[in-house]
Amino acid sequence: MKLTVVPTPIGNLEDMTFRAIKVLKEADLILAEDTRTSGFLMKHFEIHTPMQSYHKFNEHKTVENIVQRIKTGTKVALISDAGTPAISDPGFLVVRECLANEIEVECLPGATAFVPALVASGLPNDRFCFEGFLPQKKGRQTRLTKLTTETRTMIFYESPFRLAKTLAQLAEIFGTERKASVSREISKMFEETKRGTLTELAQYFNEHPPKGEIVIIVAGFEE
Read off the pLDDT band of 56 (50, 70, 90). Answer: low
Question: If you average pLDDT over every residue of the chain, what do you get?
Answer: 93
Between 213 and 4, the higher pLDDT residue: 4
**Single-letter amino acid code for the residue at 159:** S
- Reply yes or no on whether the pLDDT at 58 is more than 70: no
Q: What is residue 173's predicted lDDT score, i.e. its pLDDT? A: 96
For 93, residues 6+ apart whose C-beta sits below 8 A from its C-beta are 54, 57, 63
Average pLDDT estimate for 64-69: 90
Nearest CA to 221 among 134, 132, 136, 129? Answer: 129
User: What is the C-alpha to C-alpha distance for residues 134 and 178, in angstroms, rounded to an integer?
Assistant: 18
Q: What is residue 119's predicted lDDT score, i.e. its pLDDT? A: 97
Q: Contact at 8 Å (CB) between 178 and 123?
A: no
- Reply yes or no on whether the pLDDT at 22 is more than 70: yes
Query: Boundaries of CATH 3.30.950.10 in the chain?
Result: 114-218
User: What is the C-alpha to C-alpha distance for residues 167 and 183, in angstroms, rounded to an integer?
Assistant: 13
Q: What are phi and psi of 174, to 5 degrees?
A: -90, -15
User: CATH code for 2-107?
Assistant: 3.40.1010.10
> Coil, strand, or helix at residue 164?
helix
Q: How far is CA 121 from CA 7, 21, 216, in A?
A: 23, 31, 9
Sign of CA dihedral 132, 133, 138, 140: positive
Query: Boundaries of CATH 3.40.1010.10 in the chain?
Result: 2-107
Average pLDDT estimate for 129-141: 91
Q: What is residue 137's predicted lDDT score, i.e. its pLDDT? A: 83
Average pLDDT estimate for 153-182: 96
Strand partners, 5: 78, 107
Superfamily of domain 114-218: Tetrapyrrole methylase, C-terminal domain (3.30.950.10)
For 22, residues 6+ apart whose C-beta sits below 8 A from its C-beta are none
DSSP tag of 132: E
Average pLDDT estimate for 59-77: 86
